[in-house]
Structure 1
Amino acid sequence: MSTRRRFLGTSLAALVALTAPTGCSRIDRGEGAPARDLGPAAEVRLGYFPNLTHAPALIGVDQGLFARELGGTALTTQTFNAGPDAVNALLGSSLDVAYLGSGPAINAYAKSGGEAVRLVAGAVSGGAQLVVRPGIDAPGDLRGRVVASPQLGNTQDVALKRWLVDQGLPVGVDPGQVVVTNAENPKALDLFRRGDVHAAWAPEPWSSRLVLEAGAEVLLDEARLWEGGRFPTTVVLVRTRFLREHPATVRALLRGHLAATGLARTDGPAAKRVVNAALERLTGKALSGPVLDRAFDHVELTPDPLAGTFPRLARDAVTAGVAKRAADVAGLADLTLLNEVLAEAGEPTVDTAGLDEK
């Protein structure tokens, strides 16, 4: 079987898994959840990824910033390697709060009919690049080449496929088309080194690893595609029922989240050390100094979820061919507690851009 046919089969199998229906009761979706405040929760279950683009979570957990603000509420953490797994945990009520990519966040909201989850803060902006093998100098050079994205329908996969449409480059295995394969970031790095993959739309620190460790070159920084160079890479999602019943706990988490973001802003070297130590503890391997420095240069830790970008993100999934219709994101955001915490800290509040209105 040819490499391109094998990659296509893998992507089609993943598509079936992505679009398969998942059971979700009315209670799981948050419908009928009591609106009354039950006070601080006994426990809060927090999910995040061992990725540099989840740096506020890594810092907040490692430095005890969440635990300090939570007081008597126990913090239980769980790490994930794939957005759909974290989404299923949220929708199945086995997780209360999660750091997620913007794509999985929209998917979680849409799958629950706009009921189960709310976006309560941003975490990271930027940090995704299209990197290529030397000799690929223009978009058209990707015809007949294999391009990797981390996962079917994830944030980078949608961005890649939307960009290919804009460039007039069809996705497929026929001559003149671009082969898109979905490979987890570590595997994509190995495939690139072996020459089985010619390009990758990768988040940090993987784009930096591809450049510094595998000889890739940057064809496009995704920041160039967004106004002001800012787009949401990671956001904070909370189960709606948990938010309604335990706003004090969510507020405490957001204080810890803001403290983690502040550490990165005021002491970059310390933030890098903390993040790298956390990555080594969680994955067994730290990043090299050059990779760490380059990756941090391409991301912005910010509590602003850049709410105004979400309607476009939903439309992009349709343009990219990973959704049949644009998800209705009206009502996705509830930034009330975030803006309260920001005001208390003397920080500027963030714009909901109407994303809080159904």
Structure 2
Amino acid sequence: MSSRAVRALALATAALAATTALAACGSDDDTGAKADTPAGAAAEAKSVRLGYFPNITHAPALVGVQKDLYKNALSGTELKTQTFNAGPAALEALLSDAIDATYIGPNPAINGWIKSKGSALKIIAGSTSGGAGLVVKPGINSVADLKGKKIATPQLGNTQDVALRAYLKQNGLNADTNGGGDVSILPQDNATAVQAFAQGAIDGAWVPEPSLSKMLLESKGKLLVDEKTLWPNQQFVTTHLIVSQKFLKQYPGTVTKLLQGHIAAVDYITGHDADAQKAANAHLESLTGKALKDEILAASFKNLKFTNDPIASSLYTSAQHAQDVGLLAKVDLKGIYDLGPLNELLKAAGQPEVSDAAAS
């Protein structure tokens, strides 16, 4: 990120803080506003609790934490982090007030919106596009060949699970939620699916990176469906950043600074690819005890696009897909985005603003 962009983001953050209405202040507990918040400034929390996954699709979080980009942006506010292995767990933590913000996939965010009747969360930034698909055994050459096969997804109702079920339905195949139907869909966490595929216990899996590249490069799988080919402009939301509405209302200044760190992380990845890969891998190793092989790391990054754009149109389509396969009732997603603070920062940095429109 250039020094000019950093200065612009800092100025935008200060401007937003000065013009945002003051939330309740004077509390000095762990999530309260700083006691010395000046009159007329946006309230800031003593700490912010951020969730993310030990996964390359969450690279902005990995790099941002590893390179202290959030810490630098948050200045006096302490960053507390917590990692999760699946979207539903991260969502539950947000709903139970165990975290304040998290990187997460589209379908768990939609589920949280429904569960809370639109009161629990806001999507405040994009993060990652692409990097998911269906890897199968070499002998499977078409969607028709999937009939009678066992295909894994990370979790029932998660983003990749919905994508697989929608794809099967669009191609005349059915799958129920108990593993029955034309195709048996088995919920397995990504690490288990990678191992099961290597051992021949499953015929394939619809997974995100780096599991996708592991199956292709280590187990000689075949990419039957690259999910980006199913979307307009080959872009769809894989990961975005959400925040609890309660925290957003109480501490808009802190949320703006968190976004400043997020933008810095996305800019760092796009401008320093090799070093960003090293930083992400180093943080992965610190979280899991094991770094990715260089070829897996490089393939994963190549298959992903890191962006501040939440690609809102794909979120609405994902919701429709979940409805079509019976995993979601009809839902009104109006109001799920709050991109105002992000766009103020992007505008100040000379970057394109992003949209929450249903159609691209």
TM-score bracket, shorter-length normalisation: 0.7 to 0.9
Secondary structure of 2:218's counterpart equals helix
Q: Provide the aligned C-alpha RMSD in A.
A: 1.6
Which amino acid counterpart does residue 102 of structure 1 have in structure 2?
Answer: P
- Map Cα deviations across residues 124-183 of structure 1 (whole Å, 9 max, x no partner): 000001110011000000111100101000000000000000010121599981111010
Distance 1:142-1:158 versus aligned 2 partners, 3 A rule: same
Matched, 1:328 2:332: yes
The 2-side partners of 1:176 and 1:255 are apart by 47
* Map of 1:290 onto structure 2: 295
The one of 51, 71, 75 aligned to 2:75 = 71
Aligned length: 320
Distance 1:331-1:217 versus aligned 2 partners, 3 A rule: same
Secondary structure of 1:346's counterpart equals coil
Residues 310 and 329, structure 1, Cα contact 8 Å, conserved in 2: no
The 2-side partners of 1:186 and 1:206 are apart by 7
Residues 149 and 183, structure 1, Cα contact 8 Å, conserved in 2: yes
User: Aligned runs of 1:5-154 on 2, under 5 Å?
Assistant: 36-38=22-24, 39-154=43-158
The 2-side partners of 1:138 and 1:296 are apart by 27
Which amino acid counterpart does residue 325 of structure 2 have in structure 1?
Answer: A
Secondary structure of 1:214's counterpart equals coil
* Map of 2:275 onto structure 1: 270
* Map of 2:11 onto structure 1: none
Gaps of 5+ in 1: 1-34
TM-score, normalised on structure 1? 0.87
Gaps of 5+ in 2: 1-20, 25-42
* Map of 1:15 onto structure 2: none
The 2-side partners of 1:263 and 1:194 are apart by 38
Distance 1:272-1:165 versus aligned 2 partners, 3 A rule: same
* Cα shift at 1:345: 1.1
Distance 1:167-1:247 versus aligned 2 partners, 3 A rule: same
The 1-side partners of 2:308 and 2:180 are apart by 44
Residues 316 and 358, structure 2, Cα contact 8 Å, conserved in 1: no
The 1-side partners of 2:179 and 2:237 are apart by 33
The 2-side partners of 1:36 and 1:248 are apart by 9
The 1-side partners of 2:304 and 2:61 are apart by 15
The 2-side partners of 1:102 and 1:312 are apart by 10
Matched, 1:223 2:209: no
Secondary structure of 2:54's counterpart equals coil
Matched, 1:198 2:184: no
The one of 279, 295, 304 aligned to 1:299 = 304
**Percent pairwise identity:** 45
Residues 143 and 175, structure 1, Cα contact 8 Å, conserved in 2: no
Secondary structure of 1:200's counterpart equals strand
The 2-side partners of 1:229 and 1:55 are apart by 20
Residues 102 and 242, structure 2, Cα contact 8 Å, conserved in 1: yes
Distance 1:103-1:174 versus aligned 2 partners, 3 A rule: closer
* Cα shift at 1:310: 2.0
* Cα shift at 1:281: 0.8
Secondary structure of 1:136's counterpart equals coil
